[in-house]
Structure 1
Amino acid sequence: MMSKQESHKNWRRKLAWVACVLAIVVVVLGAFTRLVDAGLGCPDWPGCYGHLTWPNDTEEISTANLIYPDSPVDVSKTWPEMVHRYFAGSLLLLVLSLTYLSWQQRRSPTFKHTNILLLIIILQAAFGMWTVTLKLWPQIVTAHLLGGMTTLSMLWILCERLADKPRQLAESYLPAIKRLRPLALVAIAVVIIQIALGGWTSSNYAALACPDFPTCHNKWWPAADFVEGFNIAQQIGPNYLGGALESDARTAIHLTHRIGALLVTVIVLMLAILAWRTGFRAWSLWLTGALLLQVSLGIANVVMYLPLGIAVAHNAGAAFLLLSLLTFTYRIYALKAITVGRQDTDTNVQERNVNLSGVSNLN
């Protein structure tokens, strides 16, 4: 029979998985909202033209237009914005529930993790509000994207921690794992930076600043204004819908994102090769597949002129690549060494069997 503590942990585990799935939906909906230019579909917050949903009938729309003459109602933009807010609000409630459960088990290893997660999602809600009130200021939009990815990552790792699967390997195998760990952390860092660059590219409407590939404006190094493109001290407002930068500044942003993609490709492939040589072949193939999918979607965005479906998938692909790296890195850091007896007469055969056992436990 399951003990009270085990039952409590089981509930937290299930709730964390539901929250994680919901966070993925919120990230995808956020990308969709941004890409259909619905970020200002509702000029107020948290409601929409003073409604809990959005204006639907003729009378409601006429009244809303009188109150907000500078932001006429566009139903094709109001519903994506409000649906995104509803899902984000539901996620906040789930995280609050997880926090409440964690306070009932304060000695749990995930107690601090859950409370930090709550603070992050509250800050994320504030960024959502500022996205509207500051009229799509690129700094806030990019921070909002990073906040969404952070929330998703924290929930994903929480699920990993609550799974509490013992992963052990032979002591002789630990040096090989230690060689993987620094490169895995570097890979995570460059992917996070690349996601931030992607957010900056999107929030400044620079996704099509280079309409060709692999060149840009039929040049390998076209005219680009990096100072203006990355001027994070630019003035607020009045409205950044459609972007406010000149062509050369947008080109600089797009070029930087491409360079970042090249760096991510090199680092992740290096990690995948090292993982293959170390014995983690399933993970090597997984990381390579996630990387190639994301690079392919990025190229398709350019050559197909940013089709909505592929653009949304590119955002989801970034989350998929990040979560893949986080899972792999968390698991190789969570591995604990155990002492395994060796036979002097057959050391090599025994070490090979132990290595395969360690890989199986990690996967």
Structure 2
Amino acid sequence: MMNIQKRLKQLSFASMAGMFLILVMGALVTKTESGRGCGDDWPLCNGKFVPAYTIESFIEYSHRFVVGVVGLILLATTILVFLYSKRKDAKWYVGGAMLFTVLQAILGAMAVVWPQSSAVLALHFGFSLLSFAFTLLLYLVFTRFGEAMNQGGRTRLSAGIRWAVWGVLIYSYVVVYLGAFVRHTEAVGGCIGWPLCNGEVIPEMVGGTTVVFIHRVAAALLGLSILALFLFIRTQASPGSAVYRAALYSLVLVILQILSGGFVTLAIGYDIYLVASLLHAVLVSCLFGVLCYLGITSLYTAEQSKLQAYAAPRLP
């Protein structure tokens, strides 16, 4: 049994690391405009199993190859989890990861064969992000963080804060989608300069400027929301609890995320732009993963509160 548990932990880690790599490579495909590097063919590349070497075809086909390998690893993980794991939450997480991995693969194939709108293409990153989040939660189940997650960090959060956690989590996904939408349009240079947009606090809302400015405002509101959430959580959770640490990490990551957004804008037109864009994608993936952990942990604080209330002595 110990060998099985060790194998489950190893496979879940491989799935999580693979999904993270898929996210980064997907961002690389978008930023280098390599999505059409294999033409309209799928799963072949320009009609060949091993395509002729071009930068675009290499990037696109490498991305497809990694998705295939990680998909097989996740499939093996799914089978072992359902056969040998007694954790119901692990089965939910691996099932969610498999579902969104299949969806993002289908959407990716459709984008190659049939040209899609920017709104649909942005969903591809969104599905990949959900797959990563589920594999992250799955891996944490088999670590000490999983035990802390189950216990809710032995913290009692009010219902209002628990609702706020999930509200911020859902809103963060909306902000991520807006960012992915910006990447898939010609709006990237809509706002020149940072933190001002085209030298103005509120720029003229035309074309790509509108899209980028809305994303900036949404990102700023997300930062303020996470700051407020952390300040509320620290009034009810001890510094050593899982909830407190997750809220603190979320605050640090959202600050870094906002700064990296500024870095992306200032790097437009320079060789470092690609690095800045990939850093932005990495940070948003980490932020969303930590927020998901915070959301799940907050659910267990609700169960902890119910148990403590039930165990409390009742006055006659």
Asked if 2 retains the 8 angstrom alpha-carbon contact of 1:130 and 1:140, the reply is no
User: Structure 2 CA distance, aligned partners of 1:177 and 1:90?
Assistant: 43
Compared with structure 1, are the counterparts of its residues 165 and 48 closer, same or farther at alpha carbon in structure 2 (3 Å cutoff)?
same
Compared with structure 1, are the counterparts of its residues 282 and 122 closer, same or farther at alpha carbon in structure 2 (3 Å cutoff)?
closer
Deviations 1:117-168 (A, max 9, x none): 3222111111111121233531331111111001101111122334441554
Asked if 2 retains the 8 angstrom alpha-carbon contact of 1:212 and 1:303, the reply is yes
Identify the residue that residue 71 of structure 1 maps to in structure 2: none
Identify the residue that residue 155 of structure 1 maps to in structure 2: 135
Structure 1 counterpart of 2:225, from 267, 283, 288: 267
Identify the residue that residue 55 of structure 2 maps to in structure 1: 76
- 2:102 is equivalent to residue 122 of structure 1: yes
Asked if 2 retains the 8 angstrom alpha-carbon contact of 1:105 and 1:111, the reply is no
Deviation at 1:10, TM superposition (A): 3.2
TM-score (norm 1): 0.74
Deviations 1:82-113 (A, max 9, x none): 11111111111011112222342486513344
TM-score (norm 2): 0.84
Query: Unpaired segments of 5 or more residues in structure 1?
Result: 57-74, 225-247, 343-363
User: Structure 2 CA distance, aligned partners of 1:329 and 1:318?
Assistant: 16
Mapping of residues 318-357 of structure 1, within 5 Å: 318-335=284-301, 336=304
Deviation at 1:80, TM superposition (A): 0.8
User: Structure 2 CA distance, aligned partners of 1:95 and 1:305?
Assistant: 37
Identify the residue that residue 204 of structure 1 maps to in structure 2: 185
Identical aligned pairs, as a percentage?
Answer: 18
Q: Computing the radius of gyration over CA atoms, which structure comes out larger, 1 or 2?
A: 1
Asked if 2 retains the 8 angstrom alpha-carbon contact of 1:40 and 1:136, the reply is no
Could you tell me which amino acid in structure 2 is paired with residue 305 of structure 1? I
Counting matched residue pairs gives 295
Between Structure 1 and Structure 2, which shows a larger proportion of helix residues?
Answer: 2
Mapping of residues 21-40 of structure 1, within 5 Å: 21-40=17-36
- 2:144 is equivalent to residue 144 of structure 1: no
Compared with structure 1, are the counterparts of its residues 148 and 168 closer, same or farther at alpha carbon in structure 2 (3 Å cutoff)?
closer
Query: Unpaired segments of 5 or more residues in structure 2?
Result: none
Compared with structure 1, are the counterparts of its residues 116 and 289 closer, same or farther at alpha carbon in structure 2 (3 Å cutoff)?
closer
Identify the residue that residue 349 of structure 1 maps to in structure 2: none
Identify the residue that residue 204 of structure 2 maps to in structure 1: 223
Identify the residue that residue 132 of structure 1 maps to in structure 2: 112
Deviations 1:309-353 (A, max 9, x none): 0111101111111111112222232343566999xxxxxxxxxxx
Identify the residue that residue 165 of structure 1 maps to in structure 2: 147
Deviations 1:169-227 (A, max 9, x none): 798x52x4545322211111111000000011111121211112233233333332xxx
Identify the residue that residue 51 of structure 1 maps to in structure 2: 48
Identify the residue that residue 296 of structure 1 maps to in structure 2: 259
